[in-house]
Amino acid sequence: MTCLVPAPVHVRPSPDDSFLITAETRVRVSQDASRIGDYLAETLQLATAADGEISLSLHGADPLVGDEGYQLSVTRTGIALKANTETGLFNGVQTLRQLLPVDGPRVVDGGEVLDHPRFAHRGAMLDVARHFFTVDDVRRFIDQIAQYKINVLHLHLTDDQGWRLEITGWPRLTEVGGATQVGGGPGGFYTQREFRDLVAYAASRHITLIPEIDLPGHSNAALTSYPELTCDGVAPPPFTSIGTATGFSSLCTDQESTYRFTEDVLGELAALTPGRHLHIGTDETHATPEEGYVKFVRRTLDIVRQHGKQAIGWHEILRAGPPEGTVPQFWSKTDDDPRVAEAAARGHRILLSPANKVYLDMKYTPDSPIGFKWAGYLDVRDVYDWDPGSYLDGVPEHAVLGVEAPLWSEHLEHRSHIDHMAFPRLPAIAELGWSPGQTHGWDDFRRRLATHAPRWTAQGIEFHPSTQIPWAI
Amino acid sequence: MTCLVPAPVHVRPSPDDSFLITAETRVRVSQDASRIGDYLAETLQLATAADGEISLSLHGADPLVGDEGYQLSVTRTGIALKANTETGLFNGVQTLRQLLPVDGPRVVDGGEVLDHPRFAHRGAMLDVARHFFTVDDVRRFIDQIAQYKINVLHLHLTDDQGWRLEITGWPRLTEVGGATQVGGGPGGFYTQREFRDLVAYAASRHITLIPEIDLPGHSNAALTSYPELTCDGVAPPPFTSIGTATGFSSLCTDQESTYRFTEDVLGELAALTPGRHLHIGTDETHATPEEGYVKFVRRTLDIVRQHGKQAIGWHEILRAGPPEGTVPQFWSKTDDDPRVAEAAARGHRILLSPANKVYLDMKYTPDSPIGFKWAGYLDVRDVYDWDPGSYLDGVPEHAVLGVEAPLWSEHLEHRSHIDHMAFPRLPAIAELGWSPGQTHGWDDFRRRLATHAPRWTAQGIEFHPSTQIPWAI
C-alpha cells in the first residue's frame, strides 16, 4: 500500500492482513455495480458470482469520498470496495490493480484506503494534428492514463499541419487537410464513427474526451482545403514542417463564410461530444488583427453556447473577455499575463498547463533523443515538484479547475515516442492533480514511482528510465 | 541460479545455501587475481581484504573451464570463484552480478556453476560511420555487452557517409570525411588517443576491439577527402543519405596512390590495435571491376599480414581466394554462396552474422519505430531460435569461429536507439555464442530473459518490451 501513484488521501497499511487471490476467488457484485464488477473480474481474470471474496458496492461509502473517490479494505478474508458512483469504483479498481504484484502469487497488500481527488480536471492532451495517431494508438494511450486516475483526454484535432476529424458538410477538410503531417507523411483522420468509438472507449475508462478545433489561428490545414476561409480567396500550400514562427495562419475574421464554417464545424462537434466542453484553441493568433480576434472569439463563444456546451480556450482567450464558465487554459512558461489572475477574481476556473512544468514535448535532458527545449529541460522532478494550488499569483487553489499535461507531436513519429515522453512524467503530473498537498514529497514519490517500472514493461510501455528515479536501490 | 543469460554449461541450484552480502562482507583476492578482485569489489561496493567471504582465485579451477570459463560456488558462508585466467574470473563476475537481486537485500542464489563458452568469438558490431557515436556512447555499449559475456566489439569505422578514425598521414579523411553523417549532421571522429582509450576500456571489460576500414567499396567519405583515390581524379560530393543502391563507391584499384593510402591507413591501424584482427570490409563492391577487386584484396591482405595481423572480411572476400587464417564473416540472408562451405572445407573458420537472424538494424515488427526490413522482421524468437553449429550447409560447428550481431546505424540517431535495437535481442544472440546447444530452449530462455528487464531499467537501458517475452506472468 506504500507504492501507490497517485498517493491516496489516507492509507493504513496492514501487512499482516494481505489477501491471496487464487483461481477460485470470485468477484461479488451488487446489481447496480455490475459494470465495474465485470471490468474488475476481466482485469483480474476472475469469475463473478452472487457471493465472493472481492465485493464492490455503491452503498455505504463514506460521504467524504464524493463523486470520484472510494474506500478500499483488504483483509485476509477478502477485499471490499465502496464508492458513491461508478467512477469512484473505477478509481478504486485502479488502486487495487496497483496493490497486486506485477508477477508471482497474487498477494494483495493488506490495509485500508480512503481516497478522493484534489482537482476535478486531471488531464492529458495528445496532439494528433502534427503527427496523426490511429484509433488504436489513442485507445492504448487511454488505457495507460486511466491507471493514474486521469479523467480527461484533450485531443488537439487540428493545426497548421493537419485536420483530423471528418466534418460532413466540409469534406475537403479531411480529404485535403487530413492528408498531410509534419515531415510530409500521409497524415490521416478519424471518421465521425471512429471518433464516436473513441469517445465511448474513453467513457468506458471514465475519461471525458475534450476535442479541440484550434481557431482562428493554427488553421493552415483548413485554409488549404477551403480558400473561402482566407481573406484573399487564395488557398495557401500545405504546411508540413515544424514552424519556427508559429501563428502564421488565420481564418479571415471579416467574412461570413468563416462564421458559416465555424457554425458547421462546432455544430457537428457538439453533436459528437457528450462532454460539456469544447476546446476552441484561440492561441498564438499573430496573423489575426486584434479587433478581428476579439470579434471572432466572441461570435465563436456564442456558437458554442448555442450548442449547449462550454468553451475552453488557451489563456489568450481572455483577451476577448469571455463569459463566466469559459475555462482559460494557462500554458505560458512565465507568469506574465495579469488577465489570468483577473479572470480568477471574476470567478473563472483556471486549467493549469504551464509549459515549463508540464509540457511533455520538452526534452528530459540535453541528451534526450527527441523533443523541444524552449520551455526548458523537464526531468521528472521538474514536472513533479510544484504546487498547482499556489503556482500562479492571484490564482488560489479554489480557482484551479485542474492540471493538464499537453503532449504536442511535432517530434512524435511513432507511438513509442508517446511512451517515451509520457512515462514516467505523466504519472508524476497525475499525482499533482489527484493527491492532496500533504502527501507531496519528492523522496517518497520517486521511491513509489520506481516500483511501477515493471508494470510499464509488462504493458509494453517504452518508458524513459530517468536517472532521477531509484529504479533499483 | 535459474535466471542466468547466457545459460551456463552446468548449474546446480541450492536455494537453501544462499549467501547474504552485507556492508561488512569482504572480497578476498589472491595477489595474481587482484585486478578482477578490485573490479568485483567496486562493482559490489565492498572492501577488499586479505581474508573475506568472497574469494577469487586463479588456482584450482577444473581444467575443463579452459581460458574463458570459471567455477562458481555460493554457500551460506561465502562465495568462491575460480578460473584459469583473468578473463575466466571476469566472466564469473558477470554471472555473480546476475545472481544478485536487482533490489533489496543482497541475497546471492546458492549453488554451483561450471561454465565455459561454446564459441571463441562472441561479437557485437557497432556502425559509427552512418551516424557517429561518441566515446562515451561506445563505452556505455561496452559495459552493456560485457554483462552478456560478449568478448568482441567490432567497430565499423568508415563508410560512404563518414570516416571516423584519425589517420595522421591523411588528415583530410577526418577533416572532410569525418564531418558528415546520414541526415547531414556534423558527424565526428575519434582521435588516435581517443581510439587507444576505447581499446583500453574494452580490454578492461575483457573485450577485444576489432576495427573495420571498409575497402575498396563503401568508401565515398575517403574519395570525397582525397580525389587521388578516384580513377578520374575528381572528388565526389559528400553522401549523407541512406543508399537505395549500396556499393556505388570504390577506390581506384589501378593506381599506386590507392595502395599508398591502404598501406598508410592499415599501418597506423595495426599500430593502434593490440588484437590480432583487422577488418577490411570487402563487401558490396558493385562499382569495382572484378579483376581490380581481386587484385586489390590480395594486395591488401598482404599489407595486413606484413603488419602482423590477420584479416577479417565480409564473406565476399572469398572471391579473392584469401590465404589460410583469413576470416570470412557471413552476412547474407540466404545461404547462396558455395564459396563459404568450400572455405570451411579448406580450413577457414567462419564468423556467422546472417542478416535474417542477427542484423540488429532490422525492425522487430511492422510497428517498430526505426529500422530496416529487407532481411525480415526480427523479433526476439527470430534471433534466438537457430543453431550456429548447423546453420550453413557444409559449415559444421568446428568450422564456426563464432556469432556476431551487427548494428548498422543508418537509422540510429541517438544512443537510446542503440538500446532499443540491441535490447533484448543482443542478450539472446550472446547466448547462442556462449551456451552449449543442450541448454537451448525458447520457453526457458524467454522466462530467464524476462527477469533481466529491471536490471536494464536500473542501468538506464531503453529496451524494447517485445510482446514475445513474459515480462510479468
CB-count exposure of residue A186 (10 Å: 0-12, 13-18, 19+): exposed
The reply to whether B99 and B174 lie within a common domain is no
A460 within some domain: no
The residues near A339 (Cβ < 8 Å, ≥ 6 apart) are A315, A318, A319
CATH number, domain of A368, equals: 3.20.20.80
In a domain, B443, yes or no: no
> How many residues are present in chain A?
473
The ipTM, to two decimals, is: 0.85
Among B98, B115, B132, residue at a domain's last position: B115
Residues B201 and B172 placed together within one structural domain of the fold:
yes
Partner A contacted by B471 (CB < 8 A): yes
Encode chain B (473 residues) as per-residue pLDDT tens digits: 999 999 999 999 999 999 999 999 999 987 777 899 999 999 999 999 989 999 999 999 999 999 999 999 999 999 999 999 999 999 999 999 999 999 889 999 999 999 999 999 999 999 999 999 999 999 999 999 999 999 999 999 999 999 999 999 999 999 999 999 999 999 999 999 999 999 999 999 999 999 999 999 999 999 999 999 999 999 999 999 997 777 899 999 999 999 999 999 999 999 999 999 999 999 999 999 999 999 999 999 999 999 999 999 999 999 999 999 999 999 999 887 899 999 999 999 999 999 999 999 999 999 999 999 999 999 999 999 999 999 999 999 999 999 999 999 999 999 999 999 999 999 999 999 999 999 999 999 999 999 999 999 999 999 999 999 999 85
With contacts defined as CB-CB under 8 Å, which chain A residues touch B380?
A: none
Across the interface, which of B417, B454, B461 has its CB nearest the CB of A472? B454
Cβ A425 vs Cβ A381: under 8 Å: no
- The span from the CA of B296 to the CA of A389, in Å, is 74
E strand or H helix at B413, and its extent?
none
Q: Which among A102, A420, A461 is the nearest to B472, CB-wise?
A: A102
Rounded to an integer, what distance in angstroms lies between the CA atom of residue B51 and that of residue A315? 69
Cell readout for A196 is 464516436
Phi, psi of B114 (to 5 degrees): -125, 130
Q: Is residue A473 part of a domain?
A: no
Residue B131 DSSP class? S
A134 touches chain B (CB under 8 A): no
* Final residue in a domain of this structure, among A115, A141, A169: A115
Residues B77 and B201 in one domain: no
B77 is a domain residue: yes
What pLDDT was estimated at residue A296? 98
Give the per-residue pLDDT at A473. Answer: 58
What does DSSP say about strands A162-163 and A158-159: parallel, antiparallel, or unpaired?
antiparallel
Q: What pLDDT is recorded for position B206?
A: 98
Nearest by Cα to B357 from B318, B325, B390: B390
Same domain, A323 and A425: yes
B108 and B143 together in one domain: no
Interchain contact B377–A (C-beta under 8 A)? no
Cα A473 to Cα A469, B18, B454, B455, B462: the distances in Å are 10, 20, 11, 11, 19
> HSE on the CB side for A421, CA within 13 Å?
30
CA of A361 to nearest chain B CA: how many angstroms apart?
A: 17
Question: Within this chain, do residues A345 and A260 fall inside the same structural domain, yes or no?
Answer: yes
Q: Distance, in angstroms, between B351 CA and closest chain A CA?
A: 33
Same domain? B217 vs B262: yes
On whether the CB atoms of residues B122 and B430 are closer than 8 A, the answer is: yes
Mutate to test the interface with B, among A417, A451, A462 (most CBs of B within 10 A): A462
Grid coordinates representing B21?
552480502
Strand, helix or coil for residue B398: helix
For residue B318, the one-letter residue type is L
Based on the fold, state whether residues A100 and A125 are members of the same structural domain: no
Q: Is there a contact between A369 and B460 if contact means CB atoms under 8 Å apart?
A: no
**Of B112, B212, B284, B316, catalytic:** B284
CB-CB contact of B266 with B299 (8 Å) = no
Reference B178, options B196, B191, B193, B195; nearest CA is: B191
Q: How far is CA A79 from the centre of its chain?
A: 30
Domain-embedded: residue A448: no
One-character DSSP codes across A152-169? EEEEE-EETTEE-B--TT
Please state which of the ranges A389-393, A420-424, B49-53 shows the lowest mean pLDDT.
Answer: B49-53
Q: Are residues A249 and A396 in the same domain?
A: yes
B353 in the same domain as B278? yes
Over residues A156-190, the pLDDT tens digits come to 999 999 999 999 999 999 999 999 999 999 999 99
Q: Which domain holds residue B254?
A: 121-437
Task: Give the residue from B115, B141, B167 where a domain finishes.
Answer: B115
Number of domains in chain A: 2
Bridge partners of B330, per DSSP, are: B352
Distance from the A241 Cα atom to the nearest Cα atom in chain B, whole angstroms: 16
Does residue B442 sit within a domain?
no
B369 and A416 within 8 Å at the Cβ level: the answer is: yes
Is A463 inside any structural domain? no
Is the pLDDT score of A440 beyond 90? yes
At A34, the pLDDT band (50, 70, 90 cuts) reads: confident
Same domain, B99 and B163: no
A57 shares its domain with A103: yes
Amino acid B34: pLDDT: 86
| Alpha helix positions (H), B287-414 | 290-306, 338-345, 355-358, 380-384
Decide if A366 touches B, using CB distance below 8 A: no
Q: Which residue has the higher pLDDT, B336 or A346?
A: A346
Please answer yes or no on whether A458 and B472 come within 8 Å at the CB atom.
yes
Pairing type for strands A310-314 and A78-82 reads unpaired
Q: Tell me, what CATH number does A46's domain have?
A: 3.30.379.10
Residue A79 counted as domain residue? yes
Are A465 and B453 in contact (CB < 8 Å)? Answer: no
Cβ-based contacts of A473 with chain B (< 8 Å): 103-104
A455 touches chain B (CB under 8 A): yes
- Taking residues A424-434, what's their average pLDDT? 98
> Does the CB of A50 have a partner CB in chain B at under 8 Å?
no
